[in-house]
Structure 1
Amino acid sequence: MSNSRIPGRNFLFVPGPTNLPDRVQRAMMVASEDHRSPTFPDLVKPLFPQLKKVFETDAGHAFIFPASGTGGWEAAITNTLSPGDKVLAQRFGQFSHLWIDLCGRLGLEVIKQECPWGTGNDPEKIEEALRADKNHEIKAVLATHNETATGVTSDIGAVRKAIDNAKHPALLFVDGVSSVASLPFHMDKWGVDVIVSGSQKGFMLPAGLALMAASPKAIEAGKKNSSRRAYFEFQDMIKNNETGYFPYTPSIPLLHGLKEALAILFEEGLDQVYKRHHHLAEGVRAAVGAWGLKPCAKEAKWNSDTVTAIVVPEGYDAAKVISTAYKRYNLALGAGLSEVAGKVFRIGHLGDLNELMLLGAIAGAEMAMLDNGIKIQPGSGVAAAQAVYRADPLLKA
């Protein structure tokens, strides 16, 4: 194939960044403006109560940091914990691993519990560790809601129940980067103390905003901790956000995009957003079954509605499938990471997409697998997904 551009749109089906709605792109095409102007709060102030609706919190305080999700993790840790504090975290994928690594770099003592990749948080092991912590030395439990590397979603409500059963005062931190605004999330109901998300997935924006919320308990903990911070200081944000400003220059185009993205989410309705993601994911899972392959998620209860990691047959290289899909069919699929590198490819099914868009990704994945010698029936995955989508279409005739 020549190096010339392939006509038509690139099919972006990695699990983030996701497709940008045209409305969001247009909203971000703004001239430079003064972020200290008298009218700037008109843009900023409504964003915080709307974010709280997405997080489903009345008591929590919403934050918008100009950063990636990793910046949000750092803000969560440095505003609530001190170097030397113990935290409990379970590792079952690349992103749960990265959170553990970040905590170690910030001087925390991480009690790591290993879980098989393809599973998620194990509440029983969490409860057991907390019951054994008689002196309440563990200050926080870190839970990854949706492990993007393996296509696994954990039950955060069960994690909260484990903490409560142990009668332990530990804070509950949740990584919701690839779940919030795509999967149901109930901050107050689940007793989450800090939720960290990012702009480039369910919020349908480019990367660049760490979207967060912290409970009163978490904010109070920040008044007593000894971690150093400047850029990520909660109190600076709280003080400035109350008047509609930021303690430093924000990403103004992204704020305009966030305003439009939130409008899109609320126009569709969050319950419908969650239903659509489940519906689209069911089609992908049907395709995987029709191919005779298996998802990385070890049981149906772990299935993610935002990304499916598909295990290629032994002896085949998933990285070659991904390369063929991109170079030959202009289709971007997610790569396998760390322990599953070369073993899986990932189809992201979150954000601004519909049935026909996803059928295109499934068709492209089929062709890329066939081109690499993987023995599947041509058209089988597409047909299986079509049957799911036709049985209960999102748009009724």
Structure 2
Amino acid sequence: MTLSQGRTYLAIPGPSVSPERVLNAMHVSAPNIYEGALVDMVHAMVPDLKAVARTAGDVAIYIANGHGAWEAAAMNVLGPGDKALVLSTGRFAALWGMICARLGVEVEVIEFGRQSPVDPAQVEAALKADSDHRIKAVLCVHVDTATSVLNDIPAIRAAINAVGHPALFMVDCIASLGCDRFEMDAWGVDVMVAASQKGLMTPPGLGFVFFNDKARAASVRSVSYYWDWGPRSAPDFFYQFFGGTAPTHHLLGLREALNMIGEEGGVEAVWARHDRLAHAVWAAVAAWGQDVEMAMNIADPADRSRAVSCVRIGNGNGLRLRRWVEGNAGLTLGISLGMNTEADPGGDDYFRIGHMGHVNAHMVLGALGVIEAGMAALDIPHGAGAVAAAARVIAGR
């Protein structure tokens, strides 16, 4: 017998659950891509997209995943021989740096490990040592999906400002946009990359690069036709938005997702929902971890993402638990990602819970209940009262 029949729940940190409204908006015949409703919709949608990013700057939309958005951002401002400083807190900033290196960029990486955020003092020291200003860009992630760390973007900006360094500040918000508070303009971010499949609740396939006037002025001549953000951000003709044929159905889905964000009360209300639900998950993990090895990967709640939680369960039980809850209860948890190294070959000790985008209280409480059932079925040691602790957070107690 299996209890997995019925609606399954993909609780991985992206792709997130796509709302029925988004899927239904996409379930139509292909629209006219030359004039009419689609063209009008996209022009009207751009300000709403920029409002979620909290920017008055520009946005370029790409038919690409997050890796494509990384390359687009890099190609527009970095060329062969330029230098970038990469602030690594897990997996994804380092991958962005790797893409830059493949483009001929000299990459310097500061490694902060898998359980700590960026230390602004180290950033300040590295930039102070760059007295001839060879570093053209500082790259980091807002949230590293692998480790669930949340980096303090205003503090990093302050470190750059403290030494008067002219480098562009480039931030990956692929996991965090529409989940964790992010203020592009107020926090002094020059370039931000995002994608459709997480907080924006739309299937994978759209990448976004937001940029300000400083970044536009730093644009390089070597950028390829396809990745060039110039025509995409200020098109003379509709096709220039996308470098060719528009991703019609993704755009229809994104329009509906942005409608839902607006109806919820705007991105501030969305942030508040994610904050409450994340705290419910953390309360459950704290209860499970009483007198056993289980704990959040990121110890300080101030350094944790509201979009994803990485949990260390120990003894290879992350793998066992993930297989049990999926096969027996219809819940898919995130794999450990980048947590298995030669120095610490314990990747199977982890699992991740995605709580991003189209997620509510009963989804989170249901997932936590199934995880607890899985630990009971597998005789994995854990503390009592986790679901009750999460319920109290949901109730505002």
Taking structure 2 as the reference length, the TM-score comes to: 0.93
Aligned AA for 2:22?
V
Contact 2:274–2:307, Cα closer than 8 Å, also in 1: yes
Q: CA deviation at 1:239?
A: 4.3
Identify which of 209, 212, 221 aligns with 1:212: 209
Following the alignment from structure 1 to structure 2, what is the Cα–Cα distance between the partners of residues 363 and 39? 45
Aligned AA for 1:316?
G
Aligned AA for 2:224?
R
**2:373 maps to which residue?**
367
**1:173 maps to which residue?**
170
How many aligned residue pairs are there? Answer: 385
Following the alignment from structure 2 to structure 1, what is the Cα–Cα distance between the partners of residues 311 and 329? 19
Q: Deviations over 1:30-66 (max 9, x none)?
A: 20122113443212101211111111112x1012111
Q: CA deviation at 1:242?
A: 6.7
**Greater alpha carbon shift after TM alignment, 168-177 vs 331-340:** 331-340
Following the alignment from structure 1 to structure 2, what is the Cα–Cα distance between the partners of residues 227 and 121? 31
Following the alignment from structure 1 to structure 2, what is the Cα–Cα distance between the partners of residues 343 and 104? 32
**1:238 maps to which residue?**
233
Identify which of 257, 264, 267 aligns with 2:263: 267
Q: Deviations over 1:78-102 (max 9, x none)?
A: 0111112111012221212211221
Contact 1:279–1:389, Cα closer than 8 Å, also in 2: yes
Residue segments in structure 2 that go unaligned for 5+ positions in a row: 341-346
Contact 1:295–1:311, Cα closer than 8 Å, also in 2: yes
Q: Deviations over 1:238-293 (max 9, x none)?
A: 34267585330121011011111111111112111111100000100000010012
Kindly report which structure 2 residues correspond to 1:100-119, keeping only aligned pairs within 5 A, or say none.
100-119=97-116
Aligned AA for 2:227?
F
Following the alignment from structure 2 to structure 1, what is the Cα–Cα distance between the partners of residues 53 and 263? 17
Following the alignment from structure 2 to structure 1, what is the Cα–Cα distance between the partners of residues 377 and 335? 18
Matched, 1:334 2:334: yes
Following the alignment from structure 2 to structure 1, what is the Cα–Cα distance between the partners of residues 268 and 233? 30
**2:51 maps to which residue?**
53
Residue segments in structure 1 that go unaligned for 5+ positions in a row: 393-397
Contact 1:75–1:233, Cα closer than 8 Å, also in 2: yes
Matched, 1:139 2:136: yes
Q: Deviations over 1:353-392 (max 9, x none)?
A: 11111011111111222333311246x2211101111235
**2:391 maps to which residue?**
386
**2:353 maps to which residue?**
347
Q: CA deviation at 1:211?
A: 2.0
Return structure 1 stretches of 4+ with deviation > 6 angstroms.
none
Determine helix, strand or coil for the equivalent of 2:235: helix
Following the alignment from structure 1 to structure 2, what is the Cα–Cα distance between the partners of residues 377 and 131? 48
Contact 1:83–1:227, Cα closer than 8 Å, also in 2: no
Measured at CA, do residues 238 and 92 of structure 1 come closer, stay the same or move farther in structure 2, by a change above 3 Å?
closer
**1:322 maps to which residue?**
322
Aligned AA for 1:344?
Y
Measured at CA, do residues 241 and 377 of structure 1 come closer, stay the same or move farther in structure 2, by a change above 3 Å?
farther
Following the alignment from structure 2 to structure 1, what is the Cα–Cα distance between the partners of residues 228 and 383? 55
Following the alignment from structure 2 to structure 1, what is the Cα–Cα distance between the partners of residues 304 and 158? 21
Contact 1:48–1:63, Cα closer than 8 Å, also in 2: no
Identify which of 74, 77, 91 aligns with 1:77: 74
Following the alignment from structure 1 to structure 2, what is the Cα–Cα distance between the partners of residues 25 and 11? 16
Taking structure 1 as the reference length, the TM-score comes to: 0.93
Contact 1:296–1:311, Cα closer than 8 Å, also in 2: yes
Measured at CA, do residues 279 and 239 of structure 1 come closer, stay the same or move farther in structure 2, by a change above 3 Å?
closer
